[in-house]
């Protein structure tokens, strides 16, 4: 199998392969942070590391750029860890098994983490170089971006002198990103009580949905497995008697869950199985055009004693899951095709004492984000549940006087002969945190084309990476 360092640009893919060998799921940042510090030491570059494991590496300007304003190159170190049911990788200890498939880099059985490992790799290649012209660089590698931009939120911005920044966390190579959503995490804990029941235990697995990034793919008609489970359970409770044991779907708040597991018990397993198959067959046919890989398993065990959630709580939970808003809430009336507000039920988890519902809320307007939280507070109150809003990060507002935008557009036209698209996105970027903390920051976001981010089908275009890396070099050269 070909090694990634056989690809162009060689140094970028060499660093990306090294990064993929390091466990770096969110909240597991020590090793990758140390890797960056070791890189700086090996290349005689000044670097600082804070308690959140954020790293800043400083590189002086090259000849002729000594009087130019410095520039920040920024990406995040963590990745969303997803794997197939038959994958044995331990994300806490193991690296990824990456490989080349045509024009794509992929990982066997797992998400790839090109979001945002490829940004780190490109920045390291530039820091290493001796033949790329650029102003002074402040390379900022943040941690735990995927779980609320936690690293950027605590980064000491006083350690940065630059007033312009290129974020490399965008995911389409022909788009210049100039604005993004703000967001928060909203966690509801619904207390539950159990009672002893006797019947056949039935385990139902809803799986094979596409999943994806809750910002980027929220308007792509991808089915949320947790909401699908609510639809199924609501249908079944109107026809069959059953008691709910547990329901679990998704493990990342900012990923659209692609599977959900339901356990229940019933006195009439045969009737339940027939009705369940009929219901799920109808759903499968209905969503086949947008979820062609959707499938389900129904496994029936012998009659046994079951510890089931009390019926009144079960009914309240199913009703709540059925009616709670999910997906696109509002479209922008100012920017064509921009999702303005959304929410995603990313995690549904049963414990011994509670049901946890974890939502990611997003909006390009702060007032609209506040409303989403107020609505969720009212929803939690209706379930007699506790709630917590956390991980707030601000929107990144459009700057109509951006010099970096103009430099990007000019370089793009020179390099490719076409005019780039300029867009605001509904996903969150750390640009919002930096622009809110650094007065007058001129910021853009760019990056190579990624597909099915935050899923086991994630892939990175090789030709697109070369295209964006060369464009980045050209932009740096133009930043006089």
Closest C-alpha among 347, 359, 437 to residue 396: 437
Integer Cα distance of 133 and 479 in angstroms: 9
Would you state the pLDDT for residue 2?
Answer: 60
Would you state the pLDDT for residue 384?
Answer: 95
Question: Buried b vs exposed e over 135-164: b needs ≥16 C-beta within 10 Å?
Answer: bbbbbbbbbbbbbbbbbbbebeeeebebeb
Asked whether 16 and 118 are in contact (CB, 8 A), the reply is yes
* Adjacent-strand bridge partners of 75: 141
pLDDT at 1 over 70: no
Is position 104 within any domain? Answer: yes
- Among candidate residues 78, 169, 173, 243, the one labeled active-site is 78
For residues 118 and 202, membership in a common domain is answered with no
For residues 204 and 142, membership in a common domain is answered with no
Integer Cα distance of 54 and 299 in angstroms: 46
pLDDT digit string, tens, across residues 46-78? 999 999 999 999 999 999 999 999 999 999 999
Would you state the pLDDT for residue 412?
Answer: 98
Instruction: Determine what percent of the chain is predicted with pLDDT higher than 90.
Output: 89
Give the gyration radius of the chain's Cα atoms. 24
- Give the CATH number, domain containing residue 358: 3.30.70.360
Is position 220 within any domain? Answer: yes
pLDDT digit string, tens, across residues 419-439? 999 998 888 789 999 998 999
Of 365, 392, 419, the domain-final residue: 392
Is position 73 within any domain? Answer: yes
Would you state the pLDDT for residue 394?
Answer: 85
- Give the distance from CA 226 to its chain's centroid: 17
For residues 237 and 129, membership in a common domain is answered with no
Integer Cα distance of 225 and 197 in angstroms: 27
The domain tally of the chain equals: 2
Instruction: Give the pLDDT band (50/70/90) at residue 336.
Output: confident
For residues 148 and 242, membership in a common domain is answered with no
Asked whether 121 and 13 are in contact (CB, 8 A), the reply is yes
Of 392, 419, 441, the domain-final residue: 392
Integer Cα distance of 431 and 204 in angstroms: 42
Of 369, 392, 415, the domain-final residue: 392
Is position 404 within any domain? Answer: no
- 145 among known catalytic residues: yes
For residues 382 and 253, membership in a common domain is answered with yes
Is position 77 within any domain? Answer: yes
For residues 26 and 145, membership in a common domain is answered with yes
CA distances from 167 to 9, 15, 57, 116 (A): 20, 18, 15, 10
- Among candidate residues 145, 171, 243, 430, the one labeled active-site is 145
Could you identify the residue written with the tokens 């005689």? 44
Integer Cα distance of 285 and 60 in angstroms: 60
pLDDT digit string, tens, across residues 111-128? 999 999 999 999 999 999
Is position 71 within any domain? Answer: yes
Is position 403 within any domain? Answer: no
Integer Cα distance of 456 and 97 in angstroms: 12
Asked whether 395 and 432 are in contact (CB, 8 A), the reply is yes
For residues 282 and 381, membership in a common domain is answered with yes
pLDDT at 352 over 60: yes
pLDDT digit string, tens, across residues 250-306? 988 989 999 999 999 999 999 999 999 999 999 999 999 999 999 999 999 999 999
Would you state the pLDDT for residue 366?
Answer: 84
- Give the CATH number, domain containing residue 42: 3.40.630.10
For residues 334 and 459, membership in a common domain is answered with no
State the average pLDDT over residues 359-371. 91
User: How many CB atoms lie under 10 A from the CB of residue 406?
Assistant: 11
For residues 378 and 445, membership in a common domain is answered with no
With 0-12 / 13-18 / 19 or more C-beta atoms within 10 angstroms meaning exposed / middle / buried, residue 38 is: exposed
For residues 141 and 194, membership in a common domain is answered with no
Integer Cα distance of 309 and 305 in angstroms: 13
* Residue 282 DSSP SS3: helix
- The two three-digit tokens of residue 195, written as one number: 């009672």
- The two three-digit tokens of residue 305, written as one number: 């004693």
Is position 177 within any domain? Answer: no
For residues 116 and 206, membership in a common domain is answered with no
- The two three-digit tokens of residue 439, written as one number: 């007065």
Residue 111 lies in domain:
4-170+429-478
- 172 among known catalytic residues: no
For residues 210 and 158, membership in a common domain is answered with no
pLDDT digit string, tens, across residues 189-239? 999 999 999 999 999 999 999 999 898 899 999 999 999 999 999 999 999
User: How many CB atoms lie under 10 A from the CB of residue 467?
Assistant: 17
């Amino acid at each position: 199998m070909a090694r990634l360092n056989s690809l162009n640009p060689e140094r970028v893919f060499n660093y990306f392969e090294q990064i993929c060998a390091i466990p770096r799921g969110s909240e597991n940042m020590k090793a990758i942070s140390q890797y960056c510090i070791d890189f700086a030491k090996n290349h005689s570059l000044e670097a600082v590391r804070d308690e959140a494991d954020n790293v800043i590496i400083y590189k002086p300007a090259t000849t002729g750029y000594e009087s130019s304003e410095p520039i920040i190159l920024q990406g995040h170190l963590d990745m969303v860890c997803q794997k197939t049911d038959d994958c044995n990788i331990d994300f806490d200890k193991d690296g990824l098994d990456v490989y080349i498939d045509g024009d794509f880099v992929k990982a066997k059985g797992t998400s790839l983490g090109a979001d945002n490992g490829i940004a780190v790799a490109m920045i390291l290649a530039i820091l290493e170089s001796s033949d790329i012209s650029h102003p002074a660089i402040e390379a900022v590698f943040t941690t735990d971006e995927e779980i609320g931009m936690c690293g950027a939120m605590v980064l000491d911005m006083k350690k940065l002198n630059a007033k312009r920044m290129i974020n490399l966390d965008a995911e389409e190579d022909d788009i210049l990103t100039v604005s993004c959503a703000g967001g928060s995490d909203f966690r509801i804990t619904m207390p539950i009580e159990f009672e002893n029941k006797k019947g056949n235990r039935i385990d139902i697995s809803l799986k094979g949905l596409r999943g994806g990034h809750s910002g980027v793919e929220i308007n792509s008609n991808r089915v949320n497995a947790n909401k699908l489970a609510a639809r199924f359970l609501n249908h079944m409770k109107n026809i069959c008697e059953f008691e709910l044991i547990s329901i679990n779907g998704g493990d990342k708040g900012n990923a659209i869950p692609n599977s959900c597991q339901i356990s229940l018990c019933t006195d009439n397993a045969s009737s339940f199985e027939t009705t369940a198959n009929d219901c799920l067959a109808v759903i499968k046919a209905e969503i086949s055009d947008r979820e062609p890989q959707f499938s389900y398993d129904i496994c029936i065990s012998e009659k046994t004693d079951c510890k089931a959630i009390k019926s009144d709580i079960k009914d309240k939970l199913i009703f709540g899951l059925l009616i709670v808003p999910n997906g696109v809430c509002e479209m922008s009336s100012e920017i064509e095709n921009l999702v303005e507000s959304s929410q995603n039920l990313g995690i549904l988890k049963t414990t011994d004492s509670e049901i946890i519902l974890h939502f990611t809320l997003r909006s390009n307007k702060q007032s609209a984000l506040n409303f989403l939280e107020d609505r969720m507070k009212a929803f939690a109150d209706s379930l007699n549940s506790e709630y917590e809003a956390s991980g707030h990060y601000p929107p990144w507002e459009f700057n109509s006087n951006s010099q970096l935008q103009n430099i990007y557009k000019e370089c793009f036209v020179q390099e490719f002969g076409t005019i780039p698209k300029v867009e605001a996105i509904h996903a969150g970027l750390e640009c919002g945190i930096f622009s809110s903390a650094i007065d007058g920051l001129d910021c853009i976001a760019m990056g190579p084309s990624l597909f099915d981010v935050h899923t086991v089908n994630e892939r990175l275009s090789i030709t697109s990476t070369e295209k964006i890396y060369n464009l980045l070099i050209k932009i740096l050269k133009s930043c006089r």
